[in-house]
């Protein structure tokens, strides 16, 4: 029994929308990541990105400092007993440390002071130009990756709240699975679309068994097919009819079924017109049969509406026992008997 419970609890997507699938034994993964270096850098964690940012500057300073050092060494600037007519490639650069400081100053400023380049070595001039071009491109790349990560709507998606539990009860005469969604910011989200995927094992007609099969689960807001304006907490409904992948679900077999319901909300931010996506998932233990959400929206005496999130995850039992039944055939027979 314990093993079965653990198996049911295994989930592909966590409650906060993170992917729990680990990728292993992929041949050439490093090469693939380097081939798409931009996405790799943008997806980096902040600690790695800060390390990359700092190491980019330090490494370019050091590498070009070493190049300048060898140029000066080849020009004989470090030899003892130089005559007064000898002009070094870089003035006041006598050690590797001095070359490093010259490289740092060349990359970070256009006004030279104690150390500066002379006209004696064309190779040093070419190296200086190459350094400024290469490091300029590297700075653009790293800075762009920083801005791209900051501008990603991932953090905005974290301000979209899903109810911790899903409920099943009757709504407008139909048995529905309900989830509640709310926008935690005052800035509204437009063109919201809530979609669902039922992840479960499946056996095809040919006898092929798939461990994770995806079936579409359609959600709507009441009877409207339009995209809702997410400024208030909204309850989305999925009708459990014969066309639903959850057909046949009832109060008795709910917790014995093995599936995971992945919910995805796609929305557009009104302020930036960027698209954000937020996800969560529900397993059978997080779906309550015969419950409904408590009201979360209240009106005040001043004519304003208040969304009290203390009640956002609160549910209550349906009092009418007839609403808890999902036996469709029985209901049809009862309705036919009443019509007669």
Select, from the ranges 107-111, 247-251, 279-283, the one with the highest average predicted confidence (pLDDT).
279-283
Same-domain pairing of 236 and 163 = yes
How sure is the predictor about 324, in pLDDT bands with cuts at 50, 70 and 90? low
**The pLDDT of residue 7 is above 60:** no
Contacts of 87 (CB under 8 A, 6+ apart): 118, 119, 120
Look at residue 10 and tell me if it is in a domain: no
CATH number at residue 211: 2.60.40.1400
* CA distances to 241, 320, 336 from 332, in Å: 13, 19, 6
Same-domain pairing of 186 and 274 = yes
Rounded Cα distance, 69 and 90, in Å = 9
Same-domain pairing of 97 and 174 = no
Provide the domain limits for residue 267: 156-339
* CA distances to 101, 107, 333 from 132, in Å: 15, 6, 83
Element (H, E) at 124: helix 122-151
Same-domain pairing of 120 and 141 = yes
- Structure-block tokens of residue 182: 């709310």
Domain boundary, last residue among 106, 126, 151: 151
Rounded Cα distance, 105 and 126, in Å = 16
The pLDDT of residue 50 = 87
Same-domain pairing of 305 and 163 = yes
How sure is the predictor about 229, in pLDDT bands with cuts at 50, 70 and 90? confident
Look at residue 125 and tell me if it is in a domain: yes
Contacts of 51 (CB under 8 A, 6+ apart): none
Look at residue 9 and tell me if it is in a domain: no
Look at residue 3 and tell me if it is in a domain: no
What pLDDT, in 10s, does the model give residues 102-137?
898 888 876 677 888 888 888 988 998 999 899 889
Could you identify the residue written with the tokens 């390390």?
Answer: 51
- Structure-block tokens of residue 80: 């003892």
Q: Could you give the number of structural domains in the chain?
A: 2
Residue 161: alpha-carbon gap to chain centroid: 15
Same-domain pairing of 161 and 293 = yes
Q: Which of 79-88, 170-179, 220-229 has the lowest mean pLDDT?
A: 220-229
How sure is the predictor about 334, in pLDDT bands with cuts at 50, 70 and 90? very low
Share of the chain above pLDDT 70, in %: 87
What pLDDT, in 10s, does the model give residues 155-192?
777 788 899 999 998 888 889 999 999 888 888 888 88
- Cβ-contact 245, 216 below 8 angstroms: yes
Same-domain pairing of 111 and 250 = no
Domain boundary, last residue among 100, 120, 151: 151
- Cβ-contact 247, 259 below 8 angstroms: no
Q: Which residue has the higher pLDDT, 152 or 332?
A: 152
């Amino acid at each position: 029994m314990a093993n079965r419970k653990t198996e049911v609890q295994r989930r592909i997507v966590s409650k906060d929308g993170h992917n729990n699938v680990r990728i292993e034994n992929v041949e050439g993964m490093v090469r693939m990541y380097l081939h798409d270096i931009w996405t790799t850098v943008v997806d980096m964690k902040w600690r790695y990105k800060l390390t990359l940012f700092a190491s980019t500057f330090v490494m370019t300073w050091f590498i070009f400092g070493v190049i300048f050092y060898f140029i000066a060494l080849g020009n004989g600037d470090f030899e003892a007993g130089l005559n007064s007519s000898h002009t070094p490639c870089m003035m006041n650069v006598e050690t590797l440390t001095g070359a490093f400081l010259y490289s740092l100053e060349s990359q970070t400023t256009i006004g030279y002071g104690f150390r500066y380049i002379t006209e004696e070595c064309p190779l040093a001039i070419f190296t200086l130009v190459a350094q400024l071009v290469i490091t300029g491109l590297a700075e653009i790349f790293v800075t762009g990756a920083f801005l791209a990560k900051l501008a990603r709507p991932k953090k905005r998606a974290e301000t979209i709240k899903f109810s911790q539990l899903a409920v099943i009860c009757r709504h407008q005469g139909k048995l529905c699975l309900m989830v509640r969604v709310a926008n935690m910011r005052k800035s509204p989200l437009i063109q919201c679309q809530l979609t669902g995927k039922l992840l479960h094992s499946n056996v095809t007609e040919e006898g092929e068994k798939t461990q994770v099969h995806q079936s579409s689960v359609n959600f709507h807001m009441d009877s409207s097919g339009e995209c809702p304006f997410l400024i208030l907490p909204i309850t989305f409904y999925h009708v459990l009819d014969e066309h639903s992948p959850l057909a046949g679900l009832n109060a008795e077999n709910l917790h014995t079924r093995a599936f995971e319901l992945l919910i995805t909300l796609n929305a557009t931010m009104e302020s930036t017109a960027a698209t954000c996506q937020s996800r969560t998932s529900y397993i059978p233990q997080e779906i309550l049969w015969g419950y409904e959400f408590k009201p979360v929206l209240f009106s005040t005496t001043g004519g304003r509406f208040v969304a009290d999130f203390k009640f956002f995850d609160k549910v209550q039992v349906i009092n009418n026992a007839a609403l808890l039944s999902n036996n469709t055939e029985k209901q049809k027979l009862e309705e036919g008997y009443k019509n007669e």
